[in-house]
Structure 1
Amino acid sequence: MQNDLRRLSSILSNPILNTDSYKASHYLQYPQGTTAMFSYIESRGGRYDRTLFFGLQMLIKEYLCQPITAAMIDEARDFFSAHGEPFNESGWRYIVSRYDGYLPVRIRAVQEGAVIPTQNVLVTVECDDPEVFWLASYIETLLLRVWYPVTVATQSWHLRQLVRRYLERTSDDLGQLPFKVHDFGARGVSSAESAAIGGAAHLVSFLGSDTVLGVLAANTYYNKPMAAFSVPAAEHSTITAWGRAGEIDAYRNMLRQFGRPGAIVSVVSDSYDLFAALRMWGTELRQAVIDSGATLVIRPDSGDPRTIVLQTIGALDEAFGSVINGKGYRVLNHVRVIQGDGVNAESIEVILAALEAAGYAADNIVFGIGGALLQQLNRDTQRFAMKCSAVKVDDAWRNVRKDPVTDAGKRSKQGRLTLLRNRRTGDYQTVTFPLAWDARRIEGEWEDALETVFDGGKLLVDVSLDEVRARAEAYED
């Protein structure tokens, strides 16, 4: 079993096998005389009209900055031979002998953290070595997975804008914004890699996470000592282990173990009867909460989210009291609520709107979001695609595109493309080059929004999470 696991790890780290089966046969399918290829990635639209670009650096560091080896080629040759696909062994051997195993492709991309309207080029991939021009398409499977961190980062950025609007209307403290949506998604994803990549993407916009692998990925791939933070929190097992008769003792233990001045202690309180638990917190335990100097965060974890949050905050207000802030909204004393059940973009807005209508500031609520954050999305959420848009045949570039009569929404772009940004207005526009690109640059108002991030095995841009966050914040409405 241990040998099998090591073997699986080896296979997963072989870029030649990190593709679709039919890609192995494509080198035989292009026109005679083809010597170069150009492809691009875009979001064709979807749930959001703008995407926050993030995650390409992770993919490049993990998969493209390692050289192809003879052993990898042997492994791929044996697999495809048994699998029923031809294999370009000489092409891959050429990469090892000519380039020391590093892929001779050039990748250009928008800056990570940039928020770009959909239907624009986000990434381009070009290979101009006639021997292996097909690489620009072969690595599509690997590179297009950037859809996942981009989509998670996009959703979290839009959630940040939503919560910020309610804070601006009801709160005196915008500084709490980065901690208002907390990542609970680790157990709900399909793999450890998803937890790492998606969890890191959420941290472009927020600083709270219980997804350890996501925090580690952000630290590792984006040069950050510590990308996110968490607090001691109870789960149902740590409460129910005391038995129903010992429920109040479980709560006392939480205060005893973690209740310190300035600390935050989160306690799930619906193991049996939420309303009975709220009475415990507001009577027998009230003074202990106050004396601890900590902020107690109650987590109701069942029931209709809007109704339960309002009832919980109302009960806590009655027990602990509240103050009226400068915007005229109530802020609870000593306690807060974290809603972690049934949380998504729609329920967050419903809850915040209900609190505002009831006269409570957004300060009183934090959201923990799990499956809706990291799992309940797919490549079609933002309709991501990577397509070849130009090939060089007989020393001349040829524009190519797909244009299906059955679905105009799948029409692809053609030509060698780049993305321009207007220095004055901030608008973006995808154009072909060199002619259209050069003409716009001459006008002086436009600049190239793509930069070369990878070339021939070398990572040319190594951005920090701090830079990504600052860039994303600059796009806030």
Structure 2
Amino acid sequence: MTNEFSGPSGVSAILSNPILNTDSYKASHYLQYPPEASAMFSYIESRGGRYDRTLFFGLQMLIKAYLCRPITAPMIDEAKAFFGAHGEPFNEAGWRYVVERHGGYLPVRIRAVPEGSVVPTHNVLVTVECDDREVFWLASYLETLLLRVWYPITVATQSWHLRKTIRDYLLKTSDDLTQLPFKLHDFGARGVSSAESAAIGGAAHLVSFMGSDTVLGVVAANHYYNETMAAFSVPAAEHSTITSWGRERETEAYRNMIAKFARPGAIVSVVSDSYDLFAALKVWGTELKQAVLDSGGTLVIRPDSGDPRSIVLQTLRALEASFGSTVNSKGRRVLNNVRVIQGDGVNPDSLEAILAAMDHAGFAADNIVFGMGGALLQQINRDTQRFAMKCSAIRLGDAWHDVSKNPVTDSTKRSMKGRLTLLVNRRTGEYRTATLPLAPQENAGAAAADWRDAMVTVFDSGKLLVDDSLSAIRARAHAHEG
């Protein structure tokens, strides 16, 4: 895998030029700051949104892909030609200075909370500082690139909350919590806007789960987060592999799936609604029942159309009538030899509605696995968690000054001011944003001693200083599940 998310040539080569990885108007901003400006400090936060806590993830991918390679003279030439034709001024001298003085590496310092941290909204998550007076404006120029961390954070946050929902139902209805990491499978690869989105979003989902059919997401998690294999899948039918047999040979298509893939301890997933789901369920429970039992594997039926809540219940009842069930210690029924995977119409609301309906009907959560596509990786945006990156301090001459916005027309867009960090309470795990340097009371007294700086420097002038593993990030994210 190349250092970028995409290949080494064509459009991806253009995308790999950090000078162009910005908004057009950023090119003119170096002329707009006070002439005595000598350093700048910016931060990223979630200003609220669908969830009250965010799971921080994805910055390491962005840094490795885009900031660990030097700016080169050809990149500057390319950007100069573009902005000149585009109608914007271009700070050629500033970029030449980066190459000549810093070897092409951007002289910025990025601090962040450790990936996998679950932080309440309205707190600083990332800070970016540049104290080289010749190119101080880099702290803001990188906003466009760095703020895209909203995407993996939002995917990881949604998956973390969905894991919590599924876990609650497993605790209530199941005897086996070990199945939790495989309960929500990533079906999102074909529904995203780009291969890069599949890689970034697919990797973010894997903080909380270990099942995925988004190959690029698994590859990215392996590559950028030091994993051997971040997620797993099973042989599964799609409609073409069933309908290619013709309707008259539908049963043979199903029989082929069992013959080819079902083994003791194995799982095989078969979409069964190509023509008539209920007729297919009858076939599975009669003509093919013994083949399923003899295989020693677990058959997973995928109903792929209809109202998700009602179809899941109808499928469970039909399979129970044929294969039977066992009552667990929670008084819920677990199907024998068969399960259901619901991969159509799954979103946070329908997922919880299905689990609630199953519980009400006496079925354990063991009986179902969810596949989520568009709602997992695509039906979110920067406003889902209202992400923003803002300048909060500027050094004029030798003195730092606070910077903030506070629009009278929308107080929710008020920004924080000062050079910021995030503190965490050693005893309670509570977070709060504070300004630097920390006030004396932050380091004195018994109560103040409970607080420590939760942020670490992850990047400084081209050097990645933290290279975390996905396993460590998963441990942080789920440390307090119980």
Q: Retained in 2: the 8 A contact 1:431–1:437? A: no
Aligned-partner Cα distance in 2 for 1:229–1:435: 45
Letter in 2 for 1:45: G
Aligned to 2:258: 255
Match for residue 479 of structure 2 among 453, 465, 474: 474
Aligned to 2:90: 87
Which 5+ residue runs of structure 2 have no aligned equivalent?
1-7
The question of 1:44 aligning with 2:47 is answered yes
Aligned to 2:271: 268
SS in 1 for 2:439: helix
Cα deviation, residue 82, structure 1: 0.3
Cα deviation, residue 398, structure 1: 0.7
Query: What does 1:31-430 correspond to in 2, within 5 Å?
Result: 31-430=34-433
Structure 1 pair 23–302 and aligned structure 2 pair: CA distance change class (3 A)? same
Cα deviation, residue 39, structure 1: 0.1
Deviations 1:231-259 (A, max 9, x none): 00000000000000010000000011101
Match for residue 449 of structure 1 among 436, 451, 454: 454
Cα deviation, residue 441, structure 1: 6.2
Deviations 1:294-333 (A, max 9, x none): 1000000000001000000000000000000111110000
Cα deviation, residue 375, structure 1: 0.1
Letter in 2 for 1:136: A
> How many percent of aligned residue pairs carry the same amino acid?
76
Q: Retained in 1: the 8 A contact 2:218–2:230? A: yes
Cα deviation, residue 435, structure 1: 4.0
Letter in 2 for 1:342: G
Q: Retained in 2: the 8 A contact 1:115–1:475? A: no
Q: Retained in 1: the 8 A contact 2:442–2:449? A: no
The runs of at least 4 aligned residues of structure 1 exceeding 2 Å deviation read 435-443
Q: Retained in 1: the 8 A contact 2:182–2:209? A: yes
The question of 1:436 aligning with 2:439 is answered yes
Deviations 1:439-467 (A, max 9, x none): 35662110000000000100000000000
Aligned-partner Cα distance in 2 for 1:265–1:343: 21
The question of 1:459 aligning with 2:461 is answered no
Letter in 1 for 2:454: A
Letter in 2 for 1:466: S
Cα deviation, residue 7, structure 1: 3.7
Deviations 1:426-449 (A, max 9, x none): 110001111437635662110000
SS in 2 for 1:444: helix
Letter in 2 for 1:449: A
Q: Retained in 2: the 8 A contact 1:441–1:447? A: no
Q: Retained in 1: the 8 A contact 2:401–2:418? A: yes
Aligned-partner Cα distance in 2 for 1:7–1:291: 53
Letter in 1 for 2:475: A
Cα deviation, residue 335, structure 1: 0.1
Aligned-partner Cα distance in 1 for 2:413–2:210: 37
Match for residue 21 of structure 1 among 17, 20, 24: 24
Q: Retained in 2: the 8 A contact 1:39–1:136? A: yes
Aligned-partner Cα distance in 2 for 1:330–1:337: 14
Aligned-partner Cα distance in 2 for 1:69–1:182: 41
